[in-house]
C-alpha cells in the first residue's frame, strides 16, 4: 500500500481548463455528480514543501488594468491555479509544525493574543464590531481571524494543519467565536448573517458600506480569504449564500460594479462543489454585460469566442482526422511520379497552443478601466492570504493537481 501511495503523482495543471473542472460533468442539469464535494481535509500525499505563499501569486493582477474596456477578457491562469490548489487540499504540501502547536485554536479559545498586536479574540469580538476605521486600516488581524493552510504575509500567524482543522471543527467554543468573527466582518461589509444556515442579506448600513466596499478593493482579498477559511473550518455551506449575494449586488443591483471580476474569478471558485459553482455561474451569465465577454461559462458556449477553452479540442481532432484521410494512398503513390509536393507532411493543427497558453499571463484585473484604489499596493503587502503576487514572483509558485 505504501508503494502505491508513494507512486501516486498529481498532474501539474498548465492551463485554466486543467484547473477548472466546473463544467466537466455538465449535462445541462444540476444533478450532483459523485465525489464533487470535498470536505477540505485530506491525507497528506507528499512531504514536498509547496514553497512560497500562493497569496502573492494573483493579488497584483486583481489590481492591474482591466482588459474589459478593450473587449479582451481572459481568465487568469494564476487565479485558477491558486483556487485549484485550495480545492484540492494543497497536494504535495508539507505540514509546517507539530500538532501541539495549535496556535490558531488557542487564539480562538482566548488563551493567546494575536501577534504582533497583542489583542485577544474576545476584545475583537466585543470592541471592534462597528469600528470600521480600525477594521479597515489594521492589516494584521485578518490572518488570525480567518486562518488557512497557506502562509500569509503576517508571518506571526501560523498556517493551519489538517490535524488542527479537525480539532478546531470538534471544539464548540472555537466554532462559536469563529461565527461571531464572521458576523463582525460581514457587518463591516454591510451584510447581515440571517441564520445558522449561512443565509445573508443587506444590513441596515448597506448603502454606506457598499459604497466603501466598491471603492476599497483590497477588501476583495479579505473576502477571498474569509471564503477559503469558512471551507477549511467546517462552514462550506456558508459560502454559496454570500457569493450569490455579492454576485447579485455586482451584476444585478449595480451597487458593487467594481467587484464583479473578483466575484467571478475568485469567490465562485472557492466553492468545492461543482454543482454549486455551475449554478452561480449560470446566474451570473444571465446578467453579465456585455454577454459576449462572459468567459466563465461552459466551454461549448465559448466556442470561437474570446475565452478559448476546451471546446476547441473536438474541432481540432476532427480536422486532424480529415487531414490524415487527405494523404495519398499507396495506389496513388504507385500511379504518380514522385514529387516534393506529394511528400509534404500536413502541419499539426495544434501548433501554437503553447504560445496561447503563455498569453494566459495577460489576465484581467478588476472591472475598473485602469483605475486603482489609493495606496492599494501598500495594503496588499500587509494583507493576509489572498489572491496573488506580482508577475516577477510567479516562478516561485508551487504547482498542484484538478477538482
On the question of pLDDT at 309 being above 50, the answer is no
pLDDT of residue 97: 60
Q: What is the DSSP string of 28-58?
A: SS-PPPTT----S-----------S-THHHH
Burial 296-316 (b: 16+ CB within 10 A, else e): bbbbeebeebbbbbbbbeeee
CA gap 169, 232 in Å, rounded: 9
Model confidence band, residue 153 (pLDDT cutoffs 50, 70, 90): confident
The answer to whether 309 touches 302, Cβ cutoff 8 Å, is yes
Model confidence band, residue 11 (pLDDT cutoffs 50, 70, 90): confident
Higher pLDDT, 32 or 189: 189
pLDDT of residue 96: 64
CA gap 59, 126 in Å, rounded: 31
On the question of pLDDT at 165 being above 80, the answer is yes
On the question of pLDDT at 344 being above 50, the answer is no
239: alpha, beta or left? (left if phi > 0; alpha if psi -120 to 50): alpha
Q: State how many domains the chain has.
A: 1
Would residue 338 count as lying in a domain? no
The answer to whether 313 touches 361, Cβ cutoff 8 Å, is no
Model confidence band, residue 24 (pLDDT cutoffs 50, 70, 90): confident
pLDDT of residue 368: 39
pLDDT of residue 9: 60
At 192, is the secondary structure helix, strand, or coil? strand
CA gap 71, 73 in Å, rounded: 6
CA gap 366, 262 in Å, rounded: 7
CA gap 131, 128 in Å, rounded: 5
Q: Per-residue pLDDT averaged across 309-330, rounded?
A: 40
Q: What is the DSSP string of 126-163?
A: HHSTT-HHHHHH--SSHHHHS--SS--S-TTSPPP-HH
pLDDT of residue 154: 84
Which DSSP state fits 120?
A: -
On the question of pLDDT at 182 being above 60, the answer is yes
User: With the CA atoms of 89, 91, 94 and 99 taken in that order, what torsion angle do they form, in degrees rounded to the nearest 10?
Assistant: 30
> Which residues 6+ apart lie within 8 Å of 55 measured at CB?
150, 151, 152, 153, 221, 383, 384, 385, 386, 387, 388, 389
What are φ and ψ of residue 378, in 5° steps? -65, -40
Distance of CA 211 to the CA centre of its chain: 24
**For the chain, how many residues are written?**
403
pLDDT of residue 90: 87
On the question of pLDDT at 237 being above 80, the answer is yes
The rounded mean pLDDT for the chain is: 73
Question: pTM higher than 0.75, yes or no?
Answer: no
pLDDT of residue 152: 80
Would residue 72 count as lying in a domain? yes
Between 22-31, 41-50, 376-385, the lowest mean confidence (pLDDT) is in 41-50
Would residue 22 count as lying in a domain? no
Give the model confidence (pLDDT) of 114-140 as tens digits. Answer: 999 999 999 999 999 999 999 999 999
Q: What is the DSSP string of 52-75?
A: S-THHHHHHHHTS--SGGGT----
Higher pLDDT, 16 or 398: 16
277, three cell numbers: 459553482
Would residue 68 count as lying in a domain? yes
Would residue 29 count as lying in a domain? no
Q: Which residue, 68, 54, 4, is CA-closest to 362?
A: 68
CA angle, 162 then 168 then 172, to 5°: 160
Between 48-62, 230-244, 250-264, the lowest mean confidence (pLDDT) is in 48-62
At 118, is the secondary structure helix, strand, or coil? coil
The answer to whether 82 touches 58, Cβ cutoff 8 Å, is yes
What are φ and ψ of residue 192, in 5° steps? -115, 135
What are φ and ψ of residue 191, in 5° steps? -125, 145
What are φ and ψ of residue 65, in 5° steps? -65, 135
| Residue-number span of the structural domain to which 221 is assigned | 39-309+355-396
On the question of pLDDT at 31 being above 50, the answer is no
pLDDT of residue 188: 98
**Strand 191-193 to 200-202 pairing:** antiparallel
The answer to whether 153 touches 389, Cβ cutoff 8 Å, is no
On the question of pLDDT at 70 being above 70, the answer is no
At 201, is the secondary structure helix, strand, or coil? strand
Q: Which residue, 336, 302, 296, 371, is CA-closest to 69?
A: 371
**Percentage of the chain with pLDDT > 70?**
59
Higher pLDDT, 248 or 98: 248
Would residue 45 count as lying in a domain? yes
Would residue 24 count as lying in a domain? no
- Is the bond leading into 290 cis (omega within 30 degrees of zero)? yes
Amino acid at each position: 500500500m505504501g508503494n502505491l501511495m508513494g507512486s501516486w503523482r498529481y498532474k501539474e495543471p498548465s492551463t485554466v481548463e486543467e484547473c477548472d473542472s466546473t463544467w466537466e460533468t455538465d449535462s445541462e442539469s444540476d444533478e450532483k455528480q459523485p465525489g464533487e464535494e470535498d470536505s477540505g481535509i485530506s491525507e497528506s500525499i507528499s512531504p514536498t514543501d509547496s514553497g512560497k505563499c500562493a497569496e502573492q501569486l494573483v493579488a497584483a493582477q486583481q489590481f492591474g488594468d482591466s482588459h474589459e474596456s478593450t473587449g479582451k477578457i481572459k481568465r487568469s491562469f494564476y487565479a485558477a491555479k491558486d483556487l485549484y490548489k485550495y480545492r484540492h487540499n494543497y497536494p504535495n504540501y508539507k505540514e509546517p509544525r507539530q500538532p501541539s502547536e495549535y496556535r490558531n485554536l488557542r487564539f480562538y479559545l482566548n488563551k493567546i493574543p494575536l501577534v504582533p498586536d497583542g489583542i485577544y479574540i474576545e476584545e475583537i469580538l466585543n470592541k471592534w464590531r462597528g469600528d470600521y476605521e480600525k477594521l479597515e486600516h489594521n492589516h494584521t488581524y485578518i490572518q488570525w481571524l480567518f486562518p488557512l493552510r497557506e502562509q500569509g504575509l503576517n508571518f506571526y500567524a501560523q498556517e493551519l494543519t489538517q490535524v488542527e482543522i479537525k480539532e478546531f471543527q470538534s471544539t464548540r467554543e472555537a466554532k462559536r467565536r469563529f461565527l461571531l468573527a464572521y458576523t463582525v466582518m460581514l457587518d463591516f461589509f454591510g451584510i447581515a448573517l440571517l441564520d445558522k444556515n449561512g443565509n445573508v442579506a443587506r444590513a441596515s448600513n448597506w448603502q454606506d458600506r457598499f459604497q466603501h466596499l466598491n471603492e476599497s478593493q483590497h477588501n476583495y482579498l479579505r473576502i477571498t480569504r474569509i471564503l477559503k477559511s469558512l471551507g477549511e473550518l467546517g462552514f462550506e455551506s456558508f459560502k454559496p449564500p454570500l457569493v450569490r449575494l455579492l454576485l447579485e449586488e455586482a451584476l444585478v443591483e449595480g451597487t458593487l460594479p467594481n467587484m464583479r471580476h473578483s466575484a467571478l474569478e475568485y469567490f465562485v471558485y472557492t466553492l468545492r462543489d461543482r454543482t454549486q459553482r455551475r449554478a452561480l455561474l449560470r446566474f451570473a451569465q444571465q446578467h453579465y454585460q456585455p454577454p459576449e465577454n462572459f468567459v466563465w461559462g461552459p466551454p461549448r458556449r465559448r466556442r470561437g469566442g474570446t475565452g478559448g477553452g476546451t471546446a476547441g479540442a473536438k474541432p481540432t481532432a476532427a480536422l486532424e482526422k480529415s487531414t490524415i484521410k487527405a494523404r495519398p494512398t499507396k495506389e496513388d503513390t504507385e500511379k504518380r511520379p514522385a514529387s516534393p509536393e506529394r511528400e509534404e507532411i500536413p502541419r499539426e493543427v495544434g501548433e501554437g497552443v503553447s504560445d496561447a497558453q503563455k498569453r494566459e499571463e495577460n489576465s484581467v484585473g478588476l472591472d475598473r478601466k485602469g483605475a486603482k484604489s489609493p495606496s492599494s499596493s501598500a495594503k496588499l503587502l500587509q494583507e493576509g492570504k489572498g489572491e496573488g503576487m506580482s508577475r516577477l514572483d510567479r516562478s516561485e509558485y508551487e504547482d498542484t493537481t484538478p477538482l
